[in-house]
Chains A and B, each alone.
Chain A
């Protein structure tokens, strides 16, 4: 197995897996959107991401599938859907062996999540948490409370890392499991990593912006910059930037904050925020505004692409219409950013849904070789579509 990053085709939603070629073959899952029919064989409309994910996971010593880390960028359904169905929630001791015909639930050894993002999401008007988000919240609270009680970092399955300091001292007693904004960490699932460095760009805190209320009205997300080496002891030649659904105000603030040190925002691979939404780049509405303007600061924040960078949109197929997200106008902007560095803009939503896999090598990211699909694929269906009279 080599170090690689995989973007699963999940429509307008995010689901990204980072796999490290270290001794423990560490797996970091960023968000998930496992729609119901994705694990329903009878309905093949959706790509079966659950099986694709499972095929990449390893089992722990008791034969249970697990991921090292689940990063939850923000509590929208398209970033957490399928959690309760496919993942074990609660103490590992309560793990239930799968019943006949069921799939084993996946254990999350460590959670990364941000309280501040959750609180802001709560405050947003008209926003209600979906069932999976509620389940996640319960699980995150369980882990935080375990830490508060024991005052030490829990065992695998009880671990949590809080991203971003909350206001009013709400995270004050959580030092050991808290990573503040603008800090770098290298410990993943309680293992000190030589091959990964994670820099926390967001969620922005109230002190960073003039107007906390305004921030709350925008989608807030955990924003991380990963620097990843191909091998346990190599230089970190691959930079991945992901920012959930963070919107224009956030990116503008990030640019203002980091414009003198733009390397904080640089990337080889960018998961374009909010499924290629126009609102990442502009205050104006794509469909209602006659001449929607790009916010140059926000765009600058997302333009720190390195040579041959790849910009990934995790969304449905992007069409030239009024839809948003994904938005045709945003795609054009990202394509321009890519063109500047001879890079490429790619969307997970294509005709033949396939995962996008990028190897993270010591010489930087490397695309997968193109493979031919099955010779007879589709032939049977096509030839049985119409009656064939014989004389």
Chain B
């Protein structure tokens, strides 16, 4: 102390002033003073409302008094850290929500679910802590802290214990749930000694060994592994009296020696099982060195009368560690042990990830498989987002290798991998498994998905979640469009970025692949014509940039930052996650994301999607015509307006030469010099040329004149005039396919005849 002032720090004084006028505090029992650790402390008396029956005795059946003494210790770091609270040493430790401690020490109640330090920073400041203590004492007075009907069984609290065991708790519970009779079995275990304490994990929960011989075969107990942590191989023991035996007595955690551990085992009805196993361990295990320590973990599995708080199981796992020290013969003895409690922590599981991500985790649907075609920067990020929220398993496809420039924005961060140019599939797989995702192994994941589909069109038949194409490749899109609807086990979602990351595309196919992704892309092309910001990104910015990746060699990819890709991939993943958890919309979904000018966010615009009507046209060389039902409805309206006269217009759309497909994306109204008669419609030309050239220019020839449409308001087939017009169009347009479409109330009809002159 010496030079240090004995005066109260201002913050502590303010807190004590506040505490002393708290309505539940009936006065400070002492003036503030410093304790041995140089912390300021104050003792107070708290009023506790007792239930009626306890008021005469002044003490509740659970041992809480009408006035309870409490000690509040302010750490030197107060108010950055909250004060610590203590109750009298003889306070009943059988209450749940009491931090572990030894008999004779002051009792430390655990008054708050979260961090007390944070509670102190709530608007009520120190009052919130005293309020919480008042609530806690009031509940303790009626034994309500342990409330089976509402909350469930309170598991033994281990928040402040300096040692952990990480395991797949549900897996062990599943095994115990099957065991009616007492069991005690080994599991392989691995731990290391960190500065904070014992850090262990169960190696494989699914293999329980019933003899020590099996458990230690090919498994060097006590041998330090050559890992960065120098982990030690050891054993964990699952001990239970079986599910027939319900243990409904809540006991304070007072186990700190082997003797007490055995007493505890006795109260759990499994003492002999534990004793036999410990004997077996001392008789069979020899360590490499003398005076070497070996930690063995005991996992009591105890059946409780109700489910544990917030869990769907009534089996509580209570872990302890036993440290053995080998004797001069390198053998273990029960007399040379110490026992310590461990905190039980869930291994990463889909359930843990889903719950942490605020998803409703549905056991039944948890194996919805996601096919990720293209594991580039966009694909890897989406896969990672989905995996982190507990989705999967995944099957991955990408033919490319990871090269140094990919480090700028791929989810994988691995310089050596970039320098060895390892396949992106391998790296993405490793990345996903690092967050607990499962990977479905596929044949030839490095092969081009186009050739894979050629050999095996039902490549994705077993994928039942979502098929995501993030390749930004038109040839992959074409290959996927060849697949018959029945050969897809899940809807296809295509995602892509355009215009250096100013536009995002999210196209989900409808039921039976109608609309299909190419229809949605065609709709995007039309949107680029109608909306200038989309058009600018789609048609005016360079589609791909040359990125110099070496001397005289370049990669063609869009230049954009990692963060910009993340802006889009985040939204896409969130929506994909919703689609995986719910039913997909019947007519698919088209979302177009526009990066805001300040680059802070993305506005996603939802475009209406409709079913596509498909017509086969041409006689010798077949072409497919795809037209949205929405456009057919537009034709119907125009027909009705002109009735009884015929009307018509120009079909605008996109041509896919490779797949011999025409996509009608919009209708141009008839030019002003058009003629409308009951038996004839003459498509005029006034201003048409200018209109078409503007469209072609603005869309870089992505959209163009495809042909004509006209109405037969009273139905009927193609007339001789219609055939002549088609023939003329075909002559004029040479190899470019032409169509003449007739709208009739009974349906669309393409004028028969050749559509190209070849």
Question: Contact residues of A with B, CB < 8 Å?
Answer: 1-2, 21-23, 25, 230-232, 237, 268, 306-308, 359, 361-376
Contacts and interface: CB of A to CB of B under 8 A. Distances in A.
Q: Name the prevailing secondary structure of the B interface residues.
A: loop
Contact of B138 (A230, A369, A372): A369
B48 interface: yes
Interface string B125-161: 1010011001101110111100101100000000000
B562 interface: no
B52 A363 contact: yes
Contacts of A372: 18, 21-24, 124, 127, 130-131
A369 B142 contact: no
Contacts of A306: 52
A365 B149 contact: no
Contact of B142 (A1, A366, A370, A375): A366
B207 to A, nearest CB: 38
Contacts of B141: 366
Contacts, number: 96
Given A21-B150, A361-B142, A375-B18, A368 B51 contact: no
Nearest to B52: A364
Given A23-B149, A359-B144, A372-B22, 5 more contacts: A21-B147, A21-B149, A230-B142, A366-B51, A371-B131
Interface stretch (B53-61, B243-251, B314-322, B681-689): B53-61
Contact of A361 (B18, B22, B137, B144): B144
A184 B402 CA distance: 78
B149 A363 contact: no
Interface range on chain B (Cβ under 8 Å from partner): 35 or more
B123 A359 contact: no
A371 B128 CA distance: 9
Contacts of A368: 49, 138
A242 B115 CA distance: 43
Nearest to B133: A369
A363 B131 contact: no
A109 B52 CA distance: 33
B23 A366 contact: no
A231 B149 contact: yes
23 contacts: A2-B150, A25-B150, A231-B149, A232-B149, A359-B138, A361-B142, A361-B144, A362-B143, A363-B50, A363-B52, A364-B52, A366-B50, A366-B142, A368-B49, A369-B24, A369-B131, A370-B24, A371-B23, A371-B127, A372-B22, A372-B131, A375-B18, A375-B123
Nearest to B48: A369
B134 A370 contact: yes
A306 B56 CA distance: 13
Nearest to B55: A308
Nearest to A195: B149
A390 B357 CA distance: 53
A374 B126 CA distance: 10
Nearest to A310: B52
A229 B125 CA distance: 36
Scoring A231, A237, A366 by chain B CB atoms within 10 A of each residue's CB, the highest score goes to A366
B127 A363 contact: no
Nearest to B22: A372
A22 B124 CA distance: 33
B638 interface: no
Nearest to B122: A374
Contacts of B56: 307
A361 B123 contact: no
A150 B519 CA distance: 55
B448 interface: no
Given A2-B144, A21-B147, A365-B51, A374 B138 contact: no
Contact of B149 (A22, A367, A369, A374): A22
Closest 10 CB pairs of A and B: A364-B52, A363-B51, A370-B23, A363-B53, A369-B134, A372-B127, A366-B51, A361-B142, A369-B138, A367-B49
Contacts of B137: 369
B458 interface: no
Contacts of B55: 308
B478 interface: no
A334 to B, nearest CB: 18
B47 interface: yes
B61 A363 contact: yes
Contacts of B131: 369, 371-372
A363 B49 contact: no
A1 B150 contact: yes
A362 B142 contact: yes
B135 A369 contact: yes
A310 to B, nearest CB: 9
B596 to A, nearest CB: 25
Contacts of A1: 150
Scoring B21, B52, B56, B144 by chain A CB atoms within 10 A of each residue's CB, the highest score goes to B52
A25 B147 CA distance: 13
A371 B133 CA distance: 10
Contacts of B47: 369-370
Contacts of B22: 370, 372
A120 B210 CA distance: 78
A365 B52 CA distance: 6
Nearest to B131: A371
A375 B127 contact: yes
A375 B134 contact: no
Nearest to A370: B23
Nearest to A342: B55
Given A232-B149, A372-B127, A372-B131, A364 B51 contact: yes
A376 B54 CA distance: 36
A268 B51 CA distance: 11
A366 B150 contact: no
Interface in B97-131: 123-125, 127, 130-131
B51 to A, nearest CB: 3
A232 B147 CA distance: 12
Interface in B1-59: 18, 21-24, 47-56
Scoring B24, B123, B144 by chain A CB atoms within 10 A of each residue's CB, the highest score goes to B144
A364 B49 contact: no
A371 B129 CA distance: 10
Nearest to A2: B144
A359 B142 contact: yes
Interface in B606-632: none
Contacts of B130: 372
Contacts of A375: 18, 123-125, 127
Nearest to A365: B52
Contact of A366 (B52, B123, B124, B125): B52
A193 B18 CA distance: 45
Contacts of A364: 51-53
A363 B143 CA distance: 10
Contact of A374 (B23, B54, B123): B123
